[in-house]
Chains A and B, each alone.
Chain A
Amino acid sequence: MSKNRIQLMLCGGTGCHSTGSKKFEKALQQELEAKGLAEEIKIVETGCNGFCAVGPVMLVQPEGIFYQKLKVEDVPYLVEEHFLKGRPVKKFFFVEQKNKATIPHMNDIPFFSNQVYRAMRNKGVIDPEVIDEYIAREGYFGAAKALNEMTPEQVVEQIKISQLRGRGGAGFPTGMKWAFAAASPGEEKYVLCNADEGDPGAFMDRSILESDPHAVLEGMIIAARAINARQGYIYCRTEYQLAIRRLDIAIRQAKEYGLLGENILGSGFSFNIDIYQGAGAFVCGEETALMRSIEGKRGMPRPRPPFPAHKGLWDKPTILNNVETLANIPQIIIKGGAWYASIGTEKSKGTKVFALSGDVNNIGLVEVPMGLPIRKLIYDIGGGIPGGKKFKAVQLGGPSGGCIPEHKLDTPIDYEEITKVGAIMGSGGAIVMDENTCMVDMARFFMDFIQDESCGKCTPCREGTRRMLELLEKICHGEGQDGDIQSLEALAEVIGQSALCGLGQTAANPVLSTLRFFREEYETHIKEKVCPAKRCVALLKFEVNPEMCKKCGLCFKACPSEAIAWKKKEVAVIDKSKCVKCMSCFDKCKFDAIF
């Protein structure tokens, strides 16, 4: 791919940016120049590598050595040892938590070795701003095949055989969606890419766009061929400025190479893609709302039918697919639908990308085969729970999803199986929670989000979620009463059955799922006015238990409002008239002595 002896694939994802990858890159480049190595060693700023937990990270190619937690001060030593003397530096290798073993090669680190890359096959491997690097990895081969060797029907057929299902959350079969739109009469049709990524705790789509934008463009070209569309839009969150910049570059380069625009690759087929920036409304991720938003209106959903395959954007036949769905398409066309369907479970094929975060050691972006037990996702890839704490639950599917407790952790990653335990596959947010998380508070958190984002068009969602939020707030404030749980359940049922769009229909899921597995926590809040996880501020007394206090003074030092009195070898005392209930002392106390 390049004339350089060594390529340094330095992660330029958001996580590594914020741990200092830019400064590191500058220092490294200067050092390479100073040592006369700049000709043979090239730094490539890649998209998100995935292993955000140990950033900034860098992969040395072709050796495959993986470096983590790099700092500017380490640059001279690293260059001297590895690039002049050829001795990889152990100090920056990955260290396994359990047995403290160091692992030099990326492919041997459990975080990576348990993954299967399809949608993210190019992440961290190519420079996302250089189209030639994408092409060198079979880039645009799928589009060429679809345009020059296949009929639209054959394209749709392969997608059907792959059994690919929408990765945006609902899991609708992609092949079927395309077949509907292909069969819809009309000269003007649209292909849309959903890059709104609304789940608050998910960054899969962003990382795919940042690390491999051409894969998404190619997926759209193939989709356009399948339904005979001339125009495509990528609806992207405006917060994702790096992704937007890279898409912009990718679109320009693809046009220069004749891969987008008029008469693509001499096939006679023409297709254009424009980027449309969202403006911060969760409901705009919903398909009908997204289309209204592109039309420049308030992004409110409308009832279906008519389905977008018949009447979508500007009332023309339209397909909308998620970023990850589209990133899978080129490989399916190159290798065939049967290849894609060769891994997974009976009804869920291929792989799924997850953004693993929360109380887990290896926070980051992972792609795993369908069918993998969730336990493996959290313990083998995620490396378990930090600080010796106990696992409590993992939340999948964000505000439309639910949580999976310890005794259901062997559930495989499969659309139907996950639904059976009361969560949903969702778009890929997987947030791990340890024993210090209050499940009532989490339910309140999601309901607050939904209430905030409800567009207000239909009453069940607008009023019903407000009522549910009030009840949850009451419970968290120690004002819960007998019958509140039943009211929550009754409201959940009504909203689920009568709301207009997916936002409302699934809004109660986080409540129902926590009620299913953590009902006693709700009851303790209501009956005993106690928050077992010590998260609900109103239920805390802000007192020190003298028997458990070890007189260390950490709380005294942490208190910002001088509300804690403490002397060496004395139990701390909190003055409630000065206390602002900021929780600093709770966070600092290692002995659980404050309650």
Chain B
Amino acid sequence: MSILTRPSHPDITDAMWDKIDEIIDANKDIAGSVIGVLRMSQDAVGYLPVELIDYIAEGMNLPASQVYGVATFYALFSLKPKGRNIIKACTGTACYVKGIKEILSHITNKHGIKEGETTADRRFSLEGVRCLGACGLAPVMIVSENIHGNLKPDEVVGILENYK
């Protein structure tokens, strides 16, 4: 059972806090488990607010600086909120050769976001990821878990229209 005081945070509901406590309890005695704890907590909340990182550090009995260091080192972790629809455009070599650059520029022209950014209305986040392992379908992007392959620059804006 956790005896930590939960800071209030608009993006973290009580159910999420319960889940986080569960994650911390299950892992706090396992050496090296902090990366997994951060991953699972991010899955629960959507991103890692600073208050949450501090909370995890306390719960795991680790210096906050270490946990913060880990959270900022790995590309998987985001300290900023993300959009409802996450566009993961593959910027691996095969997709690059097959023209992901043009796909990205169409998205940027239409929605005004570059890699790593989120639209003001939080509709889309655009992320560049390195090789989705679907090089046969290059260029490829994943939007909210759906794979779109063999993309043509003139189709991409239309595809995104389906995600509100």
Contacts and interface: CB of A to CB of B under 8 A. Distances in A.
A455 B133 CA distance: 24
A15 B39 CA distance: 26
B32 A296 contact: yes
Most chain B C-beta atoms within 10 Å of own C-beta, residue among A55, A281, A296, A584: A296
Contacts of B53: none
A276 B110 CA distance: 39
B77 A358 contact: no
Contacts of B137: 15, 18-19, 52
A358 B93 contact: yes
A509 to B, nearest CB: 14
Nearest to B106: A582
A295 B32 contact: yes
Interface string B71-85: 001111100000000
Given A279-B35, A584-B153, A587-B99, A200 B92 contact: yes
A583 B93 contact: no
Most chain A C-beta atoms within 10 Å of own C-beta, residue among B34, B77, B136: B136
B70 interface: yes
B105 A581 contact: yes
Contact of B93 (A238, A314, A395): A395
Contacts of A314: 31
A582 B31 contact: no
A18 B149 contact: yes
B19 to A, nearest CB: 18
Interface residues of B, number: 47
A461 to B, nearest CB: 15
Nearest to B148: A18
A314 B30 CA distance: 13
Contacts of B70: 296-298
Nearest to B101: A583
Given A280-B76, A395-B93, A18 B134 contact: yes
B131 A201 contact: yes
B122 interface: no
A358 B98 contact: yes
Nearest to A54: B136
Contact of A587 (B66, B131, B132, B153): B153
Most chain A C-beta atoms within 10 Å of own C-beta, residue among B109, B132, B133, B153: B133
Interface stretch (A25-33, A69-77, A429-437, A568-576): A429-437
Given A199-B131, A582-B105, A398 B154 contact: no
A280 B140 CA distance: 19
Most chain A C-beta atoms within 10 Å of own C-beta, residue among B36, B91, B153: B153
Sorted from nearest, which 10 A-B pairs have the closest CB atoms? Answer: A201-B93, A52-B136, A279-B74, A280-B75, A357-B135, A203-B133, A296-B32, A18-B147, A200-B130, A200-B92
Interface of B: 31-36, 38-39, 66, 69-70, 73-77, 91-94, 96-99, 101-102, 105-106, 109-110, 129-138, 140, 147, 149, 152-154, 157
17 contacts: A200-B130, A277-B36, A279-B35, A279-B77, A280-B74, A296-B32, A296-B34, A296-B35, A298-B70, A358-B138, A398-B93, A431-B94, A445-B93, A560-B154, A580-B109, A584-B153, A587-B152
